[in-house]
Structure 1
Amino acid sequence: MSSAAMLRSDLTPALRLVARTTAEDQTLQSSVPAQIEFRNVTKMYGLIAAVTELSLSVRRGEFLTILGPSGSGKTTALMMLAGFEAPTKGDILIAGKSVAAVPSYRRDQGIVFQNYALFPHLTVRRNLEFPLEMRGVKASGRASLIERMLRRVHLDAFGERMPSQLSGGQQQRVALARALIADPPILLLDEPLGALDRNLREQMQGEIKSLHREFGKTTICVTHDQEEALTLSDRIVVMRGGRIEQSDTPEALYDRPATRFVANFLGEANLLNNPQLGFKKSDSPGTVPMIRPERVRIAAKHAAPLPDQDQRQVVSGTVEEMIYAGPLRKYQVRVGDDLLIVREHVAFGQETFGPGDTVRLDWLRADIRLLSE
C-alpha cells in the first residue's frame, strides 16, 4: 500500500479520498462536473477592477495554473477562492455550491503560501498536527499520520526541528505536507516556489508533480514563472488586466498562442511582420506572423540546402550576439531592421557563429503562427 493510501485509511470517513489510477482519472474527467467555478466574478478595489467578469471552471483532479504578470489579477482570483477576499460581483462555487458567504476556515482547502506561513514557535511535527486537530482527528490517529507524511516528503528525521532550523526547500516540503495531511479535496498554491533558487525550484517542481499524481488533488497554482507553469500544469490560464487572455494545455498554449501578449509572455517570439521576412501586413490584416526561436535554423551563409528547402522561408543576417547557456545557445541575428532570436541545443561538432558572422536563417512556413494584436 502506498504512503498516500495508508494516510487515507486512517482518516475519518468524511476526509477519505477514493484512490484512482491515472487512466481512470482521465476517463472520469470528461464526465465529472466542475469542482470549482468562477461565474462572472468581478473584484473592485475602490474604482480599480482587479478582476473583471472572470468565468472559469476547474475539473476534479486537474492541476490548473493561473499565469500572468504583476497586476494581472491572478493572486486576487486565488484569494477569493480561498475566502480571504470577497467578490464584488458574481459567484464562486465549489462542488456546485456557492461559497461566497462561507468563511475561509470552512472551505476545506489546503493552502501553501510563497513565504510558507509555518508556525515559527511550533516544531515540524506540531505544524503538521495542527490541521488534524482542527479537523477533529483523534489524538490516537494523529501520530501515525504525521510519521507517514514526514516520510513521504523525506523529512522523517526533522520532526522535532523548528522551521528556522530548516532550509528553504525543507520548509516548502513542510508547508506542502501540512496542506495535504488532512486530505482536503482542493489544494491552493500561491507562488509556491518563488523564494527558492533555480536548482531547488526544479527539484520541488518534480516533488509537486509527484504529490499531485499520488494524491489526485484538484490544484490551483498562481505564478508568474513560465517554466513552472509549463512544467506543472494540466492547463494554464493566462491573465492580463484582470481578464483571461487565453486558456489551454501547456503544449497548445506555447505552440498556438492566440495573441501577441501570450506569445511574448509564455516564452520568446519572433514577429515576422516585415516584407524582408517574407510577409506583408496586408497579407494578414489584424494579425502578426510569429515563429518561436527554436523553430529557426541557423547555418553558414553558403550551407547546402535542406531536402525540404522549398517549404522554408530563407533570409540572410548578421550575428550580433551569441549567448552560451549550457545545453542551449542563443543567437541574436540582425536581418535588416529586425533582430531575430535563434535558440538551438548544443551538440558535439556543431558549427558555431560569433558577432559579425554572416549567416542564413530558415524556418518551415508551417511553423508560423498568426497572432492577434
Structure 2
Amino acid sequence: MHAMNTAPRSEVDAADVNQSVPQIQFSSVTKMYGSVPAVRDLSLTVRRGEFLTILGPSGSGKTTTLMLLAGFEAPSSGDIMIAGHSVASVPSYRRDQGIVFQSYALFPHLTVARNLEFPLEMRGMAPDQRKVRVARMLERVHLGEFGGRMPSQLSGGQQQRVALARALIADPPFLLLDEPLGALDRNLREQMQIEMKSLHKEFGITTVCVTHDQEEALTLSDRIVVMRAGRVEQIDTPEALYDRPTSCFVAKFLGEANILEDALLLARVDNAPQIGTFAMIRPERISVLPKTAEWAQTDQRQYVAGAVDDMIFAGPLRKYHVRVGNNVLIVREHVAADQPVFQPGEEVCLTWLRSDIRFVSP
C-alpha cells in the first residue's frame, strides 16, 4: 500500500500523467460460471490517466469484467496486471482502488464527513490530516456545509457526490465506477456527467466505468469498449465508434442506424461495399425535402423518393420514419424556425452525402 499524501493527486502529479503508459492489462482473461463463459479471452489495456468505459447490453460481460478488475471475482484463466504486477489472485481488500457502486454503498450510520474520513482512518492517516483532507474534498464536490448530515438526509445527486468523494479521497491509483449514474433522473445524470468529467480532468486518475447508457459513455469517455456475449466487439474513441462502427451491432447499440439493404439506396456510392457487409447511415446524416423540390443524382449526393410513415416531435428534435421501397429509414433533424413539417402519408424526398455511407459487418 502506497504512502498517503495530504495533497490531492491533482496537486501532486496530474500534470505528469503519461497517457501512453499501460496501468491495467487483461491478458486472455476468461471467466466461467459453470459451463457458461461470462467473459471470453479478453485482452484489454487501460492507459494511465484514461477514462475508459465498458459498454454493452445485459449479459455482455461488462459487469463481470469490472468485478474481475476489482477482485470480487477471480479469472478462470488468463491474467490481470496492474502497474506491471499480476493481481489475478489478489483479493479485493488488498487492492488499492476506489470504487463507486450504483447504490453508492454509503455507511448509513455515519455522517457524510465520517463516511469520507473512514478510508483515511483505515490507512492510518493522523486525525488532523484527515480533517483537512475531508474538508477540502467536501468543498471540491460542493458539499462543504453537509459534513454533519446523514446520508438519508441527502438527495440522490448529493449522495452520488459523497460516494465519488469517498472513492477519491484516499488518492487511489485508479477508480472503478459501476453504473454510477443509473439511480439518478435524466437532469441529475446530465449534471453529474459534467461533474465527473471535471473531477477526472482535475485528478487525472485512471478510471474504468461500466454502463449500459450510451449517452453517458459518449460524454465521459476517452475510449469506449463495446462488449457482446463476453467478447470485445469494438474499442475506440467515442467519435470513431459512432462515426465508423465496424458491425451492425455496434452501429445499432451506439445510437440509431439505418441499414440500407435495398440496391436502389446504394446507387453510385463512393466506395463499393465489401462482400458480406451492409451499408449504414446515421439518421442525422439524412435530410428530408418536399417532393416538389428540384433534385438530381450527383457524384456527391444521393436522392430517393419516399413517403412519411410517422413523425415524432421530441423537443429540440423531430424524427421521421420514411418508407422507401421495402425500407423504412429514420431521419432525425433539429427543429428550426420556418422549417417544413411533413405529416404521415405525405410524399417526400430524402437526400444524403454518398461519403456518409459506412459499411459494417453483420
The alignment's TM-score, normalised by the length of structure 1, stands at 0.92
Identity rate of aligned residues, in percent?
Answer: 70
| 1:360 is the counterpart of 2:349 | yes
Aligned counterpart in structure 2 of residue 341 of structure 1, from 299, 307, 330 = 330
Residue equivalent to 2:340: 351
Structural mapping, 1:55-204, within 5 Å: 55-204=43-192
1:310 is displaced (CA, Å) by 3.5
Contact 2:10-2:203 within 8 A present in 1 as well? no
Q: CA deviation at 1:277?
A: 1.5
Report the Cα distance in structure 1 between the residues aligned to 2:56 and 2:11, rounded to whole angstroms: 32
**Which one of 201, 206, 225 corresponds to residue 213 of structure 1?**
201
Judge which range, 210-219 or 297-306, deviates more.
297-306
- 1:304 deviation in Å? 3.5
1:319 maps to 2:313: no
Q: In the TM superposition, what is the alpha-carbon distance from 1:181 to its structure 2 partner?
A: 0.4
Give the distance between the partners of 1:16 and 1:226, measured in 2 at CA: 28
Q: Is the 8 A contact 1:40 1:54 kept in 2?
A: yes
| Residue 14 of structure 2: aligned partner | 20
Query: 2:290 maps to what in 1?
Result: 300
From 249, 265, 273, give the equivalent of 1:261.
249
User: Secondary structure, in 3 states, of the residue corresponding to 2:338?
Assistant: coil
Q: Which residue matches 2:280?
A: 290
CA displacement at 1:348 relative to structure 2: 1.3
Cα distance, 1:321 vs structure 2:
1.1
Compute the displacement of 1:19 (Å): 2.9
Q: Deviations over 1:134-168 (max 9, x none)?
A: 11111111111111111110111111111111111
Distance in 1, Cα, partners of 2:91 & 2:85: 14
Structure-2 separation of matches of 1:9 and 1:88: 36
> Paired residues, what number?
356
Q: Which residue of 1 aligns with 2:219?
A: 231
Identify the match of residue 241 of structure 1 among 222, 229, 240.
Answer: 229
Greater displacement, 221-230 / 153-162: 153-162
Cα distance in 2 for partners of 1:284, 1:331 equals 29
Equivalent position amino acid for 1:366 in 2: S
TM-score normalized by structure 2?
A: 0.95
CA distance in structure 1 between the partners assigned to 2:11 and 2:228 by the alignment: 35
- Mapped to 2, the partners of 1:227 and 1:236 lie a distance apart of 12
Who is 2:26 aligned against? 38
8 A Cα contact 1:38 1:93, kept in partner: yes
Instruction: In structure 1, give the amino acid aligned to 2:13.
Output: A
In structure 2, what residue type is equivalent to 1:142? R
Query: Equivalents in 2 of 1:118, 1:261: separation in Å?
Result: 37
- Summarize deviations over 1:168-213 as a string: whole Å, max 9, x none: 1010000000000011010000000001000000000000000000
| Higher mean C-alpha displacement, 160-169 vs 64-73 | 160-169
Q: Distance in 2 between matches of 1:283 and 1:256?
A: 14
**Residue type matched to 1:40 in 2?**
S
1:75 Cα deviation from its structure 2 partner: 0.3
> In structure 1, how many angstroms separate the alpha carbons of the residues matched to 2:88 and 2:275?
44
Moved over 6 A (4+): none
* Alignment-derived partner of residue 5 in structure 1: none
CA–CA distance in 1 between the matches of 2:360 and 2:131? Answer: 55
Q: Distance in 1 between matches of 2:31 and 2:242?
A: 29
- Give 5+ residue unaligned stretches, structure 2: none
What CA RMSD, in Å, does the superposition of the two structures yield over aligned residues? 1.9
Shift, 1:309, TM fit? 4.3
- Report if the CA contact (8 A) 1:321-1:333 is conserved: yes
SS, match of residue 156 in structure 1: coil
